[in-house]
Amino acid sequence: MQNLLHDMNPSLKFVLVTLSMFAIAFFFNPWTPFFFWVGVLLMQVFMSIVNWKTWSLFMLPFALGAFGYLWTTIVFAADTSGEVIWSYLGFQVTADQLETALSLAFRVMAFSTLSLMFAFTTDPVKFIMSLMQQMKLSPKLAYGVLVGYQFLPVMKDEFNQIQQAHRLRGAEVEKNALRRLLGMRKVLIPMLAGAVRNAERSAFAMEARGFTGEARSEYFQVIKLQKADAAMTAIFAFLLIVSCSAGFWF
Amino acid sequence: MLTSWKLKEVVLMSLFAVVFGIVYLVFVHVSNIWAAVIGPLAYEWMFGIWFIVSIICMNIIRKPGAAVLSESMAAAIEVLLGNAVGPCLLLSGIVQGLGAEAAFAITGYKHFNVAVLMLAGAGSAVFSFVYGYFISGYAALDPSFVALMFTLRVLSGMIIAGIGGNSFRMACLRRVRFAATPFLVRRKVMPVHEAVFSLRQIGFRFPDDEQPTLSAISFDIHNGERVVISGPSGCGKVRFFTS
C-alpha cells in the first residue's frame, strides 16, 4: 500500500498528473481545488513513503505564493459584484471576490502538492526510461537528458572550482544577496564554456561505444504497465470526478 | 526533425539545460518568496530569465527545434532534480520553448541578430502568458492588472532573454573559440582543400645512426581531418612529432 505511488509507471503518473491539472484549471469555485488538494494529500499520506520534514520545506514557498495569490486576487479581482462582506478604508471585499481568491489560492496549493507528489515518488532515471519506452521519446533526446543529469556532480565541482579560482584572483564575496545573485553571471559563463567542451567529449565517447540514437526494440531496464497502474488511474479519475462535482453541489 | 542533429549538439543542449535548470530553480524560489509580498506581479518582471536557455541554444546550434527542445530539457532537468513545480513545469517549458521557436521559424532560421532574439523572447512571453492565463486563472483578475502583467512579461522576455541571451553567447564565443569552433562559428569553416598544416621534405637522423630515421616526409593535414600515425615501436612516431 505504501509503495503504490512509488511503483506506479512514471509516464502514466505524469499523464494523470497533467490531465488532472488541466481539468482543475477550468474551475473557479473554492471547493473543487480544495477537495482535490485534500485528496492528493490523502494519497500522499497513505500510498507513499515521504519524509514530511523535507516535504514541508518544499511546500513552504508555495504556501507563501498561494498567500500572494489570495490577496492579489482579492485586490485586483475582475468581478467586483455581489454582496459586500468586509470593508476597510473605503475598500470593499465581496463574497464573490473572496470565493475566486480562495479558489486560486487552493489551486496553487493543489497543483504544488500534486507536483510534489510526483517529484517525491518518481525515480528520475526510471522516468526518462519510461518516457522512452511508453511515450516513444527519441533515445537521442532521452540519453541526452540522462547525460546532463549524470553531469550534475561534475557541474557542482566545476562551480566550486570556478568560484575558488575567482576568489584566488581577488574577487570579493558579495554580501548583498541580490548582488550575489547577479554575480552568478560571472560563474555562469565559464560553466557554459566548460559545458561546450564536456558535451563534445561525452558525445564522442558515446558514439565511440556504439550509440547511434536509433529507436530500439529491447531494453536492459524494462519498465512496464501493470495492473496496479489501472487501479491508480481509477483512483485519480474518482478523485477528479468527486472534486469537480463538488464544485457544482456547493 | 532529430535526424539532422548530431549527438554532440543534443548533449550540449542537455548540459546547457542542466546549468540553466539550476539557475531557473534558484529564481523560482526567489520569486516565490517575492510573490508572497507583491503577488503574481513578482514573477513578471523577471520572467525573461526562464526563457533564456532556448535563445542561447538556438543561437549556438541554429537548427530547427533547438529552442523548444532546450527549454523542455531544462524543465525536464528541473523535474529530475526533484523540483517541487514538477510536471506542470515540463508543460510550461514546452510552451515557452514553442514561443521562441515560433519566432525563429517565422524568420526562417536564417537570422540570429539581436532583433530576432528579442522577438523570440517576446514570443516565449506571449505563449507562456496564454498558458498561464488558463492554468493560473488570470481570468479572475482585473483586465487592466492582467494587461500590466502581460506588458511586463513581454518586456522582460525581450530584454532579459533576448538581449541577455545574445550577450551570453558572445561571452561564450570568446572563451571557447578554440574548443567549440564547430558549434560557434558555423559559417566561417574553411574549405576542405585548403591545407592547414603542411610539411615538406622533413627528415631526421640520430647522431649515432647511419640510416636516417625519417627521410623526405611531405604531407598536408586539412582542416577538420583526423590523422592516425601508426607503426611498430621505435620506427620514429614520436620523433616525427617532435621534429
Answer whether B140 sits within 8 Å of A73, measured CB to CB: yes
B156 vs chain A: nearest CA distance in angstroms?
A: 16
Tell me what the mean pLDDT of segment B204-225 comes to. Answer: 72
- The x, y and z cell numbers of residue A136, run together, are 516513444
- Does the interface predicted TM-score (ipTM) exceed 0.90? no
Same structural domain for residues A118 and A167? Answer: no
Task: Look at residue B175 in the predicted model and tell me its pLDDT.
Answer: 67
Enumerate the residues of chain A whose CB falls inside 8 A of the CB of residue B33.
61, 64
Per-residue pLDDT reduced to its tens digit, B14-72: 999 888 888 888 887 777 777 777 766 777 888 888 889 999 888 888 888 889 999 98
Tell me what the mean pLDDT of segment A80-93 comes to. Answer: 65
Q: Is residue A95 part of a domain?
A: yes
Candidates B12, B26, B142; nearest CB to A199: B12
Angle formed by the axes of helices B7-38 and A177-208, nearest 10°? 160
Per-residue pLDDT reduced to its tens digit, A218-249: 888 888 888 889 999 999 999 999 988 887 77
Task: Look at residue A13 in the predicted model and tell me its pLDDT.
Answer: 92
Same structural domain for residues A100 and A15? Answer: yes
Mean pLDDT is lowest, of A167-181, B44-58, B154-168, for: A167-181
**Average pLDDT for chain B:** 79
Nearest CA in chain A to B75: A145
B35 Cβ under 8 Å from any chain A Cβ: yes
Task: Look at residue A78 in the predicted model and tell me its pLDDT.
Answer: 65
Tell me what the mean pLDDT of segment A171-180 comes to. Answer: 76
Residue A178 phi/psi, 5° resolution? -65, -45
Candidates A128, A145, A196; nearest CB to B179: A196
Answer whether A124 sits within 8 Å of B29, measured CB to CB: no
Confidence grade of residue A82 (pLDDT, cut at 50, 70, 90): low
Enumerate the residues of chain A whose CB falls inside 8 A of the CB of residue B172.
189, 192-193, 196
Same structural domain for residues A21 and A49? Answer: yes
Same structural domain for residues A31 and A115? Answer: yes
A223 vs chain B: nearest CA distance in angstroms?
A: 17
B84 vs chain A: nearest CA distance in angstroms?
A: 5
User: Within chain A, how many helices (H) and strands (E) appear?
Assistant: 10, 2
Task: Look at residue B233 in the predicted model and tell me its pLDDT.
Answer: 72
How many structural domains does chain A have?
A: 2
Confidence grade of residue B186 (pLDDT, cut at 50, 70, 90): very low
- pLDDT over 90 percentage in chain B: 16
Task: Look at residue A238 in the predicted model and tell me its pLDDT.
Answer: 93
Residue A93 has pLDDT above 50, yes or no: yes
Task: Look at residue A211 in the predicted model and tell me its pLDDT.
Answer: 87
Per-residue pLDDT reduced to its tens digit, A178-221: 777 777 778 888 888 888 888 888 988 998 998 888 877 788 88
Residue B189 has pLDDT above 50, yes or no: no
Task: Look at residue B184 in the predicted model and tell me its pLDDT.
Answer: 47
Answer whether A128 sits within 8 Å of B145, measured CB to CB: no
Same structural domain for residues A114 and A233? Answer: yes
Confidence grade of residue B187 (pLDDT, cut at 50, 70, 90): very low
Per-residue pLDDT reduced to its tens digit, A19-40: 888 888 888 888 899 999 999 9
The SS3 call for residue B191 is: coil
Same structural domain for residues A42 and A112? Answer: yes
The Cα–Cα gap between A226 and A152 comes to 32
Do A240 and A36 touch, CB atoms closer than 8 A? yes
Do B120 and B55 touch, CB atoms closer than 8 A? yes
The SS3 call for residue A162 is: helix
Q: Is residue A170 part of a domain?
A: yes
Same structural domain for residues A29 and A103? Answer: yes
Enumerate the residues of chain A whose CB falls inside 8 A of the CB of residue B23.
184, 188
Residue B141 phi/psi, 5° resolution? -95, 160
Task: Look at residue A236 in the predicted model and tell me its pLDDT.
Answer: 92
Enumerate the residues of chain A whose CB falls inside 8 A of the CB of residue B16.
192, 195
* Mutation site for A-interface testing, chosen from B14, B33, B167 by largest number of A Cβ within 10 Å: B14
- pLDDT over 70 percentage in chain A: 93
> Closest Cα partner for A83 from A91, A75, A92?
A92
Same structural domain for residues A40 and A106? Answer: yes
Answer whether A195 sits within 8 Å of B136, measured CB to CB: no
Per-residue pLDDT reduced to its tens digit, A117-163: 888 888 888 988 999 999 888 888 899 889 988 898 998 899 899 98
Structural domain range at position A163? 139-208
Candidates A61, A118, A207; nearest CB to B7: A207
Residues 206-235 in B contacting A (C-alpha not used; CB under 8 Å): none
Residue B126 has pLDDT above 90, yes or no: yes
Query: B202 or A246, which is more confident?
Result: A246
Q: Is residue A132 part of a domain?
A: no
Using CA atoms, how far residue B119 sits from A166, B96, B97, B149, B154, in Å, is 35, 13, 13, 18, 10
Domain boundaries, chain B: 2-186, 195-242
Query: A101 or B240, which is more confident?
Result: A101
Same structural domain for residues A242 and A151? Answer: no
